[in-house]
Chains A and B, each alone.
Chain A
Amino acid sequence: MSASVPLLQVRDLAVRFDTDEGVVEAVNGISYDIEEGASLGIVGESGCGKSVSALAVMRLVPSPAGRITSGEVKFEGRDLLGVDSGEMRNIRGGQIAMIFQDPLNSLNPVYTIGHQIVEALRLHMGMSKRDGRTRATELLDLVGIPSAADRLDDYPHQFSGGMQQRAMIAMAISCQPKLLIADEPSTALDVTIQAQVVDLLSDLRTELNMAVILITHDLALVAGFCDHVAVMYAGHIVEHAPVRELFGQSMHPYTLGLLGSSPSLVGDRSKPLTTIAGAPPDQTALPPGCPYTVRCPYVRDECHVALPELTRVNSVHSVRCLVDTSTGELR
């Protein structure tokens, strides 16, 4: 593969859900690139479309309620939305793997951990049962499960939450994927266990030169883990920048609001937290302008007219806002 083509190219991806209340515009034309071995954080609150956009990349959007209505997902230059479902099954788990928030629900409770890892190895790597077991033991060992050989025949419920997530990671990396999509991988875990899992993912990323998409609501987690960050709101990417730039020079009012409303371990705690007024909009009836207008402290008349474009402010930093938040004036 030539160095000029990114590992994953997502262009104008849109996902809609048909519900009783109307059509929910979950993802509204998002675009991003990921280079080999890079890591992108997708941050936002519940319902902003961050998980659905990742499911769409894997072509796992629950159907028939949900459908990808437009866009392109190119993995190593090949459009994933066009390949047949058999081929997609090979890519899924083989070259692109995914781990989810709730490890217990993503593991099959009636099969042993070993069986589930070996299954993936046999399917994607064509290994024999015996080779698969050897490899599965090694994988569990690599993700830091003590006495891995003995734990291979345990059922998921015999593992603690942290160990279940490690087993999920072992399964995800079993075929050495080029891209790992981690959807809130540490949210259900305790702080000390979260640190273990994030540390593990970060090491594996370097060791395997694996690109990672980290989907989370926790901006702080992204700060330590990712190279690039995309902030999503109501199905749109509202700001996209390298991690230092995003935290150092946040530009979108929503990003500023998110950072301001997170309590911190340092600083003055006597002041009330800056809050974002109101709640996220109803995605069955988005307003014609910027969806953030109802909550935005910088809002102007122009904002209600049309959705602002995601505009480059410099070579690496894009923001979807008409207002320059540093001055409060129109850009």
Chain B
Amino acid sequence: MSAVDGGKTRSDDTTAAGEPAATNGPVLEVQGLKKHFPIYKGTVIRRRSGAVRAVDGVSFSIGAGETLGLVGESGCGKTTTGYTIMQLEQASAGEVIFEGQNLTKLPAGERRQARRRMQMIFQDPYGSLNPRMTVGNIIAEPLVVHNIGDSKAERRDRVHELLQLVGLSPGHAVRYPHEFSGGQRQRIATARSLAVEPSFIVCDEPVSALDVSIQAQIINLLRELQQQFAVAYLFIAHDLEVVRHISDRVAVMYVGLLAEVASSDELYVRPLHPYTRALLSAIPFPDPEIEATRKRIILPGDVPSPANPPSGCRFHPRCPWSKDRCSEEVPELVDAGGGHEVACHFWSEIEESGGVIPSDSGKTFSRRRFSDSAVGNL
């Protein structure tokens, strides 16, 4: 705990502390991570009837000071992945290796120690701050828990320093969360996560509850802090524009599995997985000229339930390119060149065809028109 020596030179210390990790490979490695939630039937005699396979075998690594974006639609398992990495949920299978230590195998006491250098920022800035604690106590709590800082005064100085770091003022320490707006609360949550000098932060949809103008402020703040402290982020979000802006690499998740992983610059210009193609085409573009000519891939149906995922490739029932093999065989993540990984049997054929949807696929969203219906004549 020598890390805390107070004073304004702290930021230098933290950068120095962050650097050794950069030379020792990834900060975080996730291997075959699974999290299944059991489903029970019966009230008197309860028996397991199945499981929600929220995360079903996910592997990736994050380097020091790197941001990995994790995108997907609701229920795809992206938040559960974050929780399981943080050991807030116990993994059903697989390994979470953080700074060389396998967290899933550590006894509870050591796990808590190891976890000191990983933190989390939650989506809901209203639910994640205790309304009965002052902002100062909220930010100081991790210091108290991890027994950092020798005196109250020292901790108070640290809290003031953290508040300034996130763009608030020391005077805010005596106020309560309800006195702050959503954006300011997310700044408080960020200050709390930085208190223990983490090398890795899970950001679970940190900006999705905020308005656009406030969202931009928080994104910029997170980026500045990353440059200053070389902290790595797992940035979980459903908003692909935000993820592109903040991430070095992006992983796309669909029903518990990764569909595609690529660098941020590559993924958005060369999406290979049909799901990524559809996702990107579905995002409205803030330019009426482009919107007027854009072709969208409108997928049929809804995201399947992870309690009963489709056989083979989990995307095949909605995929306009699917063939027989897709319903039989689960595609593995394969390297499509330059670290761009994709889990699709036919990615190269689809790419060669220029991503044109086969006309006989029957897998685009269609409905009867008004003119074909009796209703139109009423």
Q: Taking beta carbons and an 8 Å cutoff, which residues of A are in contact with B? A: 45-46, 135, 138-139, 141-144, 146, 160, 162-163, 176, 190-196, 198-200, 203-204, 207-208, 217-221, 223-225, 243-244, 247-248, 257-266, 269, 272-276, 279-280
CB-defined A-B contacts under 8 Å, sample of 16 = A135-B375, A141-B368, A142-B373, A162-B302, A191-B73, A193-B73, A196-B365, A203-B369, A204-B370, A207-B370, A224-B292, A258-B212, A263-B245, A272-B224, A275-B217, A279-B183
Task: Say yes or no for B223: interface residue by CB 8 A criterion.
Answer: yes
Given contacts A138-B373, A143-B367, contact A275 B288 (CB under 8 A): no
Interface residues of B in 151-183 (CB under 8 A from A): 181, 183
Task: Say yes or no for B280: interface residue by CB 8 A criterion.
Answer: yes
User: Could you tell me if B370 and A192 are in contact, using CB atoms closer than 8 angstroms?
Assistant: no
Q: How far is the CA of A190 from the CA of B378 in the complex (A)?
A: 34
Given contacts A190-B73, A204-B370, A244-B289, contact A198 B212 (CB under 8 A): no
14 extra A-B contacts, CB within 8 A, seeds A196-B299, A261-B216, A273-B220? A45-B211, A142-B375, A160-B302, A191-B282, A192-B278, A195-B298, A207-B376, A220-B285, A224-B284, A224-B294, A247-B286, A261-B213, A263-B246, A269-B265
Residues in B neighbouring A248, C-beta threshold 8 A: 288-289
User: Could you tell me if B220 and A144 are in contact, using CB atoms closer than 8 angstroms?
Assistant: no
Given contacts A142-B370, A243-B288, contact A195 B296 (CB under 8 A): yes
Q: How far is the CA of A265 from the CA of B73 in the complex (A)?
A: 18
User: Could you tell me if A223 and B245 are in contact, using CB atoms closer than 8 angstroms?
Assistant: no
Which residue, of A141, A199, A272, has the highest number of chain B Cβ atoms within 10 A? A272
Interface residues of B in 294-313 (CB under 8 A from A): 294, 296, 298-299, 301-303
CB distance from B350 to the nearest CB of A (A): 18
CB distance from A208 to the nearest CB of B (A): 6
Residues in A neighbouring B374, C-beta threshold 8 A: 138
Residues in A neighbouring B264, C-beta threshold 8 A: 269
User: Could you tell me if B240 and A191 are in contact, using CB atoms closer than 8 angstroms?
Assistant: yes
Chain B contact residues, majority secondary structure: helix
User: Could you tell me if B220 and A263 are in contact, using CB atoms closer than 8 angstroms?
Assistant: no
CB distance from B333 to the nearest CB of A (A): 21
Instruction: Look across to chain A and name the residue whose beta carbon is closest to the beta carbon of B219.
Output: A273
CB distance from B217 to the nearest CB of A (A): 5
CB distance from A237 to the nearest CB of B (A): 18
Q: How far is the CA of A272 from the CA of B245 in the complex (A)?
A: 9
Nearest 9 CB-CB pairings of A with B: A261-B216, A224-B291, A144-B367, A195-B282, A263-B245, A190-B73, A276-B213, A207-B370, A220-B284
Which residue, of A138, A146, A198, A200, has the highest number of chain B Cβ atoms within 10 A? A138
Contact of A207 among B265, B283, B285, B371 (CB under 8 A): B371
User: Could you tell me if B285 and A223 are in contact, using CB atoms closer than 8 angstroms?
Assistant: yes
Interface residues of B in 26-48 (CB under 8 A from A): none
Q: B205-229 vs A: 1/0 string, CB under 8 Å?
A: 0000001111111011001100000
Task: Say yes or no for B334: interface residue by CB 8 A criterion.
Answer: no
Chain A contact residues, majority secondary structure: helix
User: Could you tell me if B211 and A192 are in contact, using CB atoms closer than 8 angstroms?
Assistant: no
Residues in B neighbouring A261, C-beta threshold 8 A: 212-213, 215-216
Which residue, of A143, A195, A225, A243, has the highest number of chain B Cβ atoms within 10 A? A195
User: Could you tell me if A262 and B220 are in contact, using CB atoms closer than 8 angstroms?
Assistant: no
Which residue, of B240, B299, B302, has the highest number of chain A Cβ atoms within 10 A? B302
Interface residues of B in 75-123 (CB under 8 A from A): none
Residues in A neighbouring B371, C-beta threshold 8 A: 207
User: Could you tell me if B284 and A269 are in contact, using CB atoms closer than 8 angstroms?
Assistant: no
Instruction: Look across to chain A and name the residue whose beta carbon is closest to the beta carbon of B303.
Output: A190
Task: Say yes or no for B17: interface residue by CB 8 A criterion.
Answer: no
Contact of A198 among B73, B224, B284, B287 (CB under 8 A): B284
Residues in B neighbouring A259, C-beta threshold 8 A: 286
Task: Say yes or no for B60: interface residue by CB 8 A criterion.
Answer: no
User: Could you tell me if A272 and B298 are in contact, using CB atoms closer than 8 angstroms?
Assistant: no
CB distance from B177 to the nearest CB of A (A): 15
Contact of B367 among A200, A220, A257, A264 (CB under 8 A): A200
Residues in B neighbouring A257, C-beta threshold 8 A: 213
Q: How far is the CA of A275 from the CA of B375 in the complex (A)?
A: 48
Residues in B neighbouring A208, C-beta threshold 8 A: 370
Contact of B213 among A193, A258, A266 (CB under 8 A): A258
CB distance from B203 to the nearest CB of A (A): 15
User: Could you tell me if A199 and B296 are in contact, using CB atoms closer than 8 angstroms?
Assistant: yes
Given contacts A263-B242, A265-B240, contact A272 B286 (CB under 8 A): no
User: Could you tell me if A223 and B284 are in contact, using CB atoms closer than 8 angstroms?
Assistant: yes
Task: Say yes or no for B332: interface residue by CB 8 A criterion.
Answer: no
Task: Say yes or no for B241: interface residue by CB 8 A criterion.
Answer: yes
User: Could you tell me if A247 and B213 are in contact, using CB atoms closer than 8 angstroms?
Assistant: no
Q: How far is the CA of A190 from the CA of B283 in the complex (A)?
A: 10
Instruction: Look across to chain A and name the residue whose beta carbon is closest to the beta carbon of B365.
Output: A196
Q: How far is the CA of A46 from the CA of B182 in the complex (A)?
A: 11
